[in-house]
Amino acid sequence: METDLESASRASRGAVRFTLLCVLMGAAVAPAAAQDTLSFNRDVRPILSEHCFSCHGPDAAHRQADLRLDIAESALAERDGVRAIVPFDSEASELVYRITAEDRFEIMPPADAHLPLSKDEIALLRRWVEEGAPYAGHWAFETPVKPSVPKTTGHPIDAFVDARLMEAGLSRSERAGREALIRRASLDLTGLPPTVAEVDAFLADDDPRAFERLVDELLTREQTAERLTLDWLDVARYADTNGYSIDDHREMWPWRDWVIRAFRDNKPYDEFLTWQLAGDLLPEATLDQKIATGFLRNAMNTHEGGTIPEEYRVASIVDKIDTVGTSLMGLTLECAQCHDHKYDPISQKDYYRFFALLNQTSEGGTGAVNGNTQPTLDLGEAWGGRDDVIRSYQRREEDLLAFLAELFADRRRALEQELLERASPAEEMPLPRGAHEIFAAAMPKWVWAPDVRDDDSLTVERAFHLESVPASAWLAISGDNRAELHLNGQRLGVVDPWMEPFAGDVAAHLLAGENVLRVEASNAGGVAGLLVALVDEGDTAILATDETWRFSRGNAANGLARGGEMKELGPYGAAPWGHFAASGASPEIRLPKLAAIPEVERSFEQWRPLLERLGKSLEEPERTLLHRQLGAIEGELKLVRERLKSRRATVMVLDSGKPRPTPMLDRGSYDRPGEVVEPGVPAFLEGPGQRPVTNRLELARWLTDAKHPLTARVAVNRYWQMLMGTGLVETAEDFGSQGSWPSHPELLDWLAVSFVEHGWNVRWLLKTIVLSEAYRQSSRVTAELRERDPYNRLLARSSRVRLPAEHVRDNALFIGGLLSMRVGGPSTYPDQPDGLWRQASHFGYPGFFSAQSFYPSVGEDRFRRSLYTFWKRTAPPPALTAFDAPNREVCTVRRPRTNTPLQALVTLNEPQFMEAARALGERMFQSEGGREVPDIVTAFRACTGRVPSDAERALLEEAYDRHLRRYLAEPAAAVALTRSEAGDDESRARLAAATLIASTLLNLDETITRP
């Protein structure tokens, strides 16, 4: 019930404002009638902003009657003998007359605006006028001043909270139990629950400072740095793909790793922001400072055909403005892109002055294909050659090959068995490698003859010297299109077409001394190419096409005098060989040998001919699906192998670029430039005597100036939101006129100023909040609190909040003992429904785009923290989106919190949750000497942090006995659930029954909710 109430408050921004207004006006909390005077910012501005500012606010272009109600000078001015507001005289005030009018032509807001005022709102506005209609500047735009702490002997946060509760006639709840406290702190700070051993140690520690020591220790864990990074990834709209339609991959994980390190090292928040906005502009910028600027490069980009580069370049800067405005300033700057802001004093000119600050990089409007878009930073082997990174890519290569084994596995294995049974021993000629592997050993490249005409013929010769004839020498050769092959005057055969190369042992045709390989080719169109590899039995290259070759046009009789050198132009297509079948050896001889290779030892080049042979036996659409999967995996393997070969990493960053003029854009359209403006910040925030802000570094220093009214407030509010469930300003993304009034304004300002005074120390801020009694309260909801403060805005208790999506998954894996604690490195691919990416991507496009079809990780990488899950914007991980994870197309500082039946279906059925349940079921039987009865109590404690009651224990034990009886009677069902045939029927039945109990425990509301 409590979690539902918490979630209900997120229905809509309008509903939040109306609800908050009612709470502030209602007698149950802090009735306006009981206060001496109204507060313009708290009581009046929200009403005017919601109902009036769209026509009578800052937006000059849409303003009606030249009347502004957001500033006193205009509201009190006389117009044609009429004044909108006459202080202390509601009867003479046009505003009061209009909001109470019954004539549909006179009432305000007009009916067609669909923004009617309630009776309570009308009464409050009338009262405000009667009290003199005092105006005040918007609270968030005033520099915070550290308020005096209400008299107390306790924690400053508690002093402010208690003072507010006293006004409402309420008091704080009792402190939560110690089991709840360690669980709450662990989940909030690390994103993971405490172990049973950690709970026991904390319960046994009766030192008064035990909780503080616990918090200090948690704050230094790498898991806390990962937990803080998770929220920042939402802010930075981090993803592993480019977004838009094609949505192919990029590699920004080095920037993500930098964020983890920054939080691990407790980097001051002002420095943290400065590096990300302008690290490249700092004097003698370091590698880390440049990497940090990837923050603003996480925007989407595209290389789709028909892309207009300038349109998308402008869209990228718009995204950067939205990110900076939302995350650092709590302002909806984007509302001024097309016209003056309707609610806040941000003009369109202000917007484009801000635009000019971010308009000076060399970033273009067209994205790179299958990788990072310039400007990029080459991190070299310091990053790409790290052991953990190399191992990650090696595991990814193994994952992709493992998926090949799953393609139509039953039918493919049946085909292989048939091939093996039909193979004739007499045909088993020695063939140590296929053509692809010979090719890889010599690393040849396509070479080309320049200016070859269609239907031309070509003769190519290469002379080479051998000291002695090797026992075995394998030749792989192909020419474009048809090629007749001769070695030392002996005809070897014909290649036709080029996709079916010659491959065979040619040692019998070699000579000690000079040898000549001759290729007579006819070209059927376009340029003509040649691809050759000759290796000995030791895999040593004897001859390859990266050496000098000579050619002539016409037939062989013309000689070579009219020819020249072959020109190397690079690889011919994604895979040089095309099909595996070679004229030097029959496919029917080759395939049985490949089928005899164990699946786990096969290379892609060995898998491909077998799967292509399978494809011939498939009907449509399966045949097409198989070939598309082969093409996609081949492309993904190529990218992975490039990383392994180069051992280097890159990251997208900001640079200085060339100075660009910045015009205002009519209605925000990239192709309608107007007045050119100079860089700057919104005029209402400039302040008297402030130095001009002309570049990103000056912008960063302006934002982190102690006098800036927004940056520190926005930061502490978001960390409060992380720990308490809801920010002191509920609309964490909007501190403007349309945002919520702070529940505790003085506390917000005290935290903001103190945060700056303590050197922008995030760890100090988190500890300060967590050590308060407000944080340590019980979350128990009494009938009185449910009625008087259903959304816990007064903080008379702690809030029970469901864990973020990533933590729901991580907790299940952690409790089951499966979660990998490795930190950093490339993203991984935990299980998700097969085919999901294919439905949302360009899978099937003739060319190759990465990240079009999903290939799951195998082994430990499946169980890494969700922070490292590969994030495809057009198809984010479904198990996480079910729990409200964003798609990361735009900056997000506040996730919605919903409760849906789909969430229960995920936690009960999603493969990784089932694996966690099986693992927890196994752990119930683990102890010295083993157990025959599961340890349900310890499992319950691992999930909830507390000991079950007698009734709960009895219920679970009865359920276990019931499941055990079923699986003893249905041994096949036990095998299906446990996915194991080990042991006897009874042991499998016990494990199956324990798995269902574990699944029940992992799906308790208490397990996925912070206490």
Give the DSSP per-residue string, 53-110: HHHHSS-STT-STT--SSSHHHHHSEETTEES--TT-STT-HHHHHHH--STTT-SS-
Question: What are the backbone angles phi and psi of residue 588, rounded to the nearest 5°?
Answer: -70, -20
Q: Are 584 and 463 in contact (CB under 8 A)?
A: no
| Residue 79 region by backbone torsions, left for phi larger than 0, else alpha for psi between -120 and 50, else beta | beta
Collect all residues with Cβ–Cβ distance below 8 Å to 813 and sequence separation of at least 6. 819, 863, 912, 915, 916
What is the per-residue pLDDT for 497? 67
Q: How confident is the model at residue 809 (pLDDT cuts 50, 70, 90)?
A: very high
Tokens of 264: 């691990």
Q: What is the pLDDT of residue 1?
A: 33
Spatial distance between the Cα atoms of 288 and 294, rounded to a whole number of angstroms = 10
**CA–CA gap between residue 287 and residue 277 (Å, rounded):** 15
Mean pLDDT calculated for residue range 838-855: 92
pLDDT at 22 over 80: no
DSSP helix/strand/coil, 248 = coil
What local confidence, expressed as pLDDT, does residue 78 receive? 87
Radius of gyration of the chain (CA): 35
Listed in sequence order, the DSSP H helices in 287-378 are 287-292, 309-324, 348-357
Whether residue 9 has pLDDT greater than 50 = no
In this prediction, residue 445 carries a pLDDT of 57
How confident is the model over 194-218, as pLDDT tens digits? Answer: 999 999 999 999 999 999 999 999 9
Decide if pLDDT at 663 tops 90: yes
Query: Residue 911: is its pLDDT beyond 80?
Result: yes
Give the whole-angstrom CA distance, residue 256 versus residue 234.
12
Question: Do you find a cis peptide bond into 481, omega within 30 degrees of 0?
Answer: yes
Classified as helix, coil or strand, 478 is strand
pLDDT of 436 reads 54
Q: What is the pLDDT of residue 570?
A: 46
Average pLDDT over residues 27-33: 36
What one-character DSSP code corresponds to residue 175?
B
**482-496, 720-734, 857-871, 984-998, range with the lowest pLDDT:** 482-496
459 band by pLDDT with thresholds 50, 70 and 90: confident
If we measure between CA atoms, which residue out of 875, 880, 865, 876 comes closest to residue 828? 865
Q: Tell whether the model's pLDDT for residue 286 goes beyond 50.
A: yes
Locate the DSSP E strands across 113-165: none
**Mean pLDDT confidence for 827-832:** 96
Give the pLDDT band of residue 446 (cuts 50, 70, 90).
low
Residues 577-605: what's their mean pLDDT? Answer: 65
Beta strand segments in 699-817, E:
801-802
589, two tokens = 């001889």
The β-bridge relationship of strands 528-536 and 447-449 is antiparallel
Taking the CA atoms of 914, 919, 920 and 921 in sequence, report the sign of the dihedral they define: positive
Task: Report pLDDT digits (tens) over 334-357.
Answer: 999 999 999 999 999 999 999 999
Q: What is the dihedral of CA 379, 381, 387, 391, to 10 degrees?
A: 80
Q: Is a pLDDT exceeding 80 seen at residue 798? A: yes
Structure tokens at 715: 């930061």
Across the range 452-471, mean pLDDT stands at 76
Residue type, 574: A
Please, are residues 297 and 252 in contact by the beta-carbon 8 Å criterion?
Answer: yes
* pLDDT at site 407: 95
What is the per-residue pLDDT across 523-580, written as a single tens digit (0 to 9) for each? 665 545 777 878 886 667 777 666 667 766 654 333 333 455 554 444 443 344 443 3
Cis peptide before 31 (omega within 30 of 0): no
pLDDT of residue 997: 97
Taking phi first (over 0 means left), then psi (-120 to 50 degrees means alpha), and beta for anything else, what does residue 515 get? beta
435 vs 869 pLDDT, higher one? 869
Between strands 513-522 and 457-466, the pairing is: antiparallel
User: In this predicted structure, what is the pLDDT of residue 32?
Assistant: 44
Residue 929: the pLDDT is 65
Query: Cβ distance 534 to 442 under 8 Å?
Result: yes
Q: 824 — alpha (psi -120 to 50), left (phi > 0) or beta?
A: left
Query: What are the start-end ranges of the H helices in 358-426?
Result: 381-384, 387-406, 409-422
Confidence of residue 102 (pLDDT cuts 50, 70, 90): confident
Q: How far apart are CA 859 and CA 615, in angstroms?
A: 29
pLDDT in tens, 64-82: 888 988 888 888 898 888 8
Cα 142 from Cα 799, distance rounded (Å): 30
The tokens describing 520, both together, are 């007579």
N-term to C-term CA, the chain? 14
DSSP 798-866: PPPEEPPHHHHHHHHHHHTT--B---SSS-B-----TTHHHHTS-TT-SS--SSSS-----GGGGGB-G
- For 206, phi then psi, to 5°, come to -95, 15
Of the two residues 425 and 144, the one the predictor is more confident about is 144
Q: β-strand 376-380 against 649-652: which pairing, if any? A: antiparallel
What single DSSP character describes residue 489?
T
Q: What is the mean pLDDT of residues 583-588?
A: 41
Rounded CA separation 567/471 (Å): 32
> Tokens 């909806």 label which residue?
332
pLDDT at 442 over 60: no
Token representation of residue 832:
């998700």
How high is the mean pLDDT of the chain?
A: 87
Predicted local distance difference test score (pLDDT) of residue 608 = 86
Rounded distance, CA 105 to CA 34, Å? Answer: 36
pLDDT higher for 363 or 33? 363
Q: Per-residue pLDDT tens for 719-751?
A: 999 999 999 999 999 999 999 999 999 999 999
Return d(Cα 579, Cα 612) in angstroms, integer: 8
What is residue 557's predicted lDDT score, i.e. its pLDDT?
A: 39
pLDDT of res. 463: 87
- In angstroms, how far is CA 354 from the centroid of its own chain? 27
Q: How far is CA 444 from CA 234, 475, 661, 790, 933, in A?
A: 45, 12, 49, 72, 63
Predicted local distance difference test score (pLDDT) of residue 565? 59
pLDDT digits (tens, 9 = 90+) for 494-524: 877 666 677 777 888 899 999 999 888 776 6
Exposed / middle / buried, residue 337 (Cβ in 10 Å: 0-12, 13-18, 19+): buried
Q: What residue type is assigned to position 243 of the chain? A: G
* CB 365 within 8 Å of CB 316: yes
Q: Above 90 in pLDDT, residue 310?
A: yes
The alpha carbon dihedral of 652, 657, 659, 660 has a sign of negative
Q: What whole-number distance in Å separates Cα of residue 213 and Cα of residue 734?
A: 36
> Phi and psi (nearest 5°) for 969?
-85, -20
**Tell me, what's the pLDDT at 525?**
56
pTM of the model: 0.82
Q: Choose between 530 and 951: higher pLDDT.
A: 951
Torsion angles phi and psi, residue 601, rounded to 5: -100, 0
Q: Mean pLDDT, to the nearest integer, of 837-858?
A: 93
CA angle centred on 765, ends 760 and 766, rounded to 5°: 135
Percent of the chain with pLDDT over 90: 65
| CA 167 – CA 655 distance, rounded (Å) | 53
Confidence at residue 564, expressed as pLDDT on a 0 to 100 scale: 58
Answer for the pair 90, 130: CB distance below 8 angstroms, yes or no.
yes
Window from 137-141, 387-391, 432-436, 781-785 with minimum mean pLDDT: 432-436
What is the rounded average pLDDT of the residues 450-466? 71
What pLDDT is stored for residue 41 in this prediction? 85
Assigned token pair, 63: 């303003």
